[in-house]
C-alpha cells in the first residue's frame, strides 16, 4: 500500500504528490517537506501542508520529530493554528503525550501551548470527548504531566505544561474547572512553585493570576482559598523582600512560608513575576473574604516589608496599587498597638 505526501515546490510555488512505498527512504522525503515549508508563507497550500505534516506526525521517532518541529513553527501563526485545531490536532497531540514511549514530549507540549492560545483550542481541550462526564480529562492529564519532574541532559521535559495551564485559565470555563475543589487541581499546580525551573514557576504564577479573575463569584474565591497554605506561599514569598522575619511575625503564616522567611534570602529579581503576583493579591484583596484571608497570614506586614526592600520602579508601582487598597481597610481595623508595631517594623 502506498502513502502520499504533499510537497510544495520552493521554486515554482506549485505542489505535487509524491507516492512512495513503505520501504522508501522516508526521512529524505520529510527533510524535503520541512525545507519546503520552513520560513516560507504556505498561503493557499496550508491545508495540504498541514495534512502532510500531520500524516508524518505519527511516523517513526525521527520522522515524527521533524514533522513536529515544523508544526510548532507553523502554529505560531494564528490562522494556521486555527486550522490545526479544526484538524483535531489538539486531541491527537494529547493522545501522543499519554504514550509512555513518546520521545519528544517537549515538542508536543510546545505545539499545545501555541494551539491553546486560541479560544477554540482551549474549548477542545476542555471538552475532551462527547461524554460530558469525561469533559476536562485532558486538563487533568496535563496537570499530572506538570507534576512529573524529569531533569536530564535535555532539560525539564514537562515544564511547558504550565504554559498550557496559563492559557486554559484565561477562559471562564477553564478557571471554573481548575478551581473545582473535588479535583484538587489548583493545589497540585501550586506545589510546583518551589521548583527550580523558572518556566514552571511562571506557569504556576500565571495560572493563579488568571484564576483570580472572576472572584466576585464567592464560591470561586472559597475554592481558591481551600488551598490557602500553598496559595499564600506562592503569592507572598516572591514579594516578601530579603530581610529575615521574627518568629512572632511568622507564627500565623503557612509553615513552609514562615520557615523560609525566618532567614535572609536572595533577591527574587523577576519583575514580571512579581508584578503578576501583586496583581493577583490585589484581585483577592478586592473581596472582603480575601482581605480577611490575607490579614490572617500577616499579609499586610509582608507587603510593607517587601515594598521597603524593592528597588524596581514598576514593581513598586504594583506594591503601591495593592497598598492603596489594603492600607485604608486594614488600618481602620487595626488597634493602636498594631499600628505602632507596623510603623516600627518598617
Answer yes or no: are the C-beta atoms of 225 and 299 closer than 8 Å: no
* Lowest model confidence (mean pLDDT) among 21-30, 107-116, 218-227, 234-243: 21-30
Q: pLDDT, tens digit, for every residue of 279-336?
A: 999 999 999 999 999 999 999 999 999 999 999 999 999 999 999 988 766 665 555 5
130-153 pLDDT, tens digit each? 556 667 889 999 999 999 876 655
Chain-centre distance for alpha carbon 238: 17
* CA 310 to each of CA 21, 121, 172: distance values in angstroms, whole numbers, following the listed order: 65, 39, 33
Mean pLDDT confidence for 24-52: 58
Quick one: what percent of the chain has pLDDT higher than 90?
A: 56
Please write the tens of the pLDDT for every residue from 239-258: 999 999 999 999 999 999 99
At 160, the pLDDT band (50, 70, 90 cuts) reads: very high
* pLDDT value of residue 7: 45
State residue 127's pLDDT score.
84
Helix runs in 57-184, H state only? 61-74, 78-86, 89-97, 105-115, 119-127, 137-146, 161-168, 172-179
Q: Using alpha carbons, list the distances in angstroms from residue 76 to 79, 84, 106, 117, 200.
A: 9, 11, 16, 9, 21
* Confidence category of residue 9, pLDDT binned at 50, 70, 90: very low
Q: Mean pLDDT over all residues of the chain?
A: 82
Mean pLDDT of 3-8: 41
Question: Whole-angstrom Cα distance, residue 343 to residue 160?
Answer: 43
User: pTM score, two decimals?
Assistant: 0.83
Domains and CATH numbers, the chain: 1-74 (no CATH), 86-211 (1.25.10.10), 221-346 (no CATH)
What's the pLDDT score for residue 90?
Answer: 93
DSSP state at residue 50: H
* C-beta separation of 201 from 273 below 8 A: yes
pLDDT at 69: 86
Report the pLDDT value the prediction gives residue 1, as an integer from 0 to 100.
26
pLDDT interval class at 63 (50, 70, 90): confident
Tell me the pLDDT band of 346, cut-offs 50, 70 and 90. low
Side-chain-facing half-sphere of 41: CA atoms under 13 Å:
3
Amino acid at each position: 500500500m502506498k502513502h502520499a505526501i504533499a510537497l510544495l515546490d520552493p521554486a515554482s510555488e506549485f505542489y505535487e504528490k509524491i507516492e512512495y512505498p513503505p520501504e522508501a527512504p522516508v526521512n529524505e522525503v520529510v527533510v524535503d517537506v520541512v525545507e519546503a515549508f520552513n520560513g516560507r508563507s504556505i498561503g493557499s497550500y496550508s491545508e495540504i501542508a498541514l495534512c502532510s505534516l500531520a500524516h508524518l506526525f505519527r511516523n517513526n521517532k525521527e520522522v515524527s520529530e521533524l514533522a513536529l518541529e515544523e508544526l510548532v513553527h507553523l502554529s505560531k501563526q494564528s490562522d494556521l493554528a486555527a486550522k490545526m485545531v479544526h484538524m483535531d490536532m489538539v486531541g491527537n497531540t494529547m493522545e501522543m503525550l499519554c504514550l509512555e514511549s513518546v520521545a519528544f514530549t517537549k515538542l508536543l507540549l510546545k505545539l499545545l501551548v501555541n494551539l491553546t492560545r486560541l479560544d477554540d483550542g482551549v474549548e477542545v481541550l476542555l471538552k475532551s470527548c462527547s461524554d460530558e462526564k469525561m469533559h476536562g480529562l485532558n486538563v487533568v492529564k496535563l496537570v499530572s504531566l506538570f507534576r512529573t519532574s524529569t531533569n536530564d541532559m535535555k532539560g525539564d521535559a514537562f515544564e511547558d505544561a504550565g504554559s498550557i495551564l496559563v492559557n486554559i485559565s484565561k477562559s471562564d470555563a477553564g478557571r471554573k474547572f481548575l478551581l473545582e475543589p473535588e479535583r484538587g487541581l489548583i493545589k497540585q499546580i501550586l506545589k510546583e512553585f518551589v521548583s527550580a525551573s523558572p518556566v514552571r514557576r511562571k506557569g504556576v504564577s500565571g495560572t493563579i493570576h488568571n484564576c483570580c479573575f472572576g472572584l466576585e463569584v464567592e464560591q470561586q474565591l472559597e475554592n481558591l482559598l481551600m488551598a490557602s497554605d500553598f496559595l499564600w506561599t506562592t503569592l507572598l514569598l516572591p514579594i516578601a523582600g530579603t530581610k529575615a522575619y521574627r518568629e512572632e511575625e511568622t507564627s500565623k503564616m503557612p509553615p513552609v512560608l514562615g520557615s523560609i522567611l525566618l532567614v535572609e534570602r536572595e533577591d527574587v529579581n523577576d519583575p514580571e513575576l512579581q508584578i503578576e503576583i501583586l496583581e493577583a493579591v490585589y484581585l483577592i484583596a478586592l473581596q472582603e473574604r480575601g482581605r480577611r484571608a490575607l490579614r490572617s497570614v500577616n499579609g499586610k506586614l509582608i507587603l510593607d516589608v517587601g515594598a521597603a526592600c524593592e528597588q524596581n520602579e514598576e514593581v513598586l508601582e504594583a506594591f503601591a496599587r495593592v497598598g492603596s487598597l489594603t492600607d485604608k481597610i486594614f488600618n481602620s481595623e487595626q488597634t493602636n498597638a498594631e499600628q505602632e508595631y507596623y510603623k516600627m517594623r518598617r
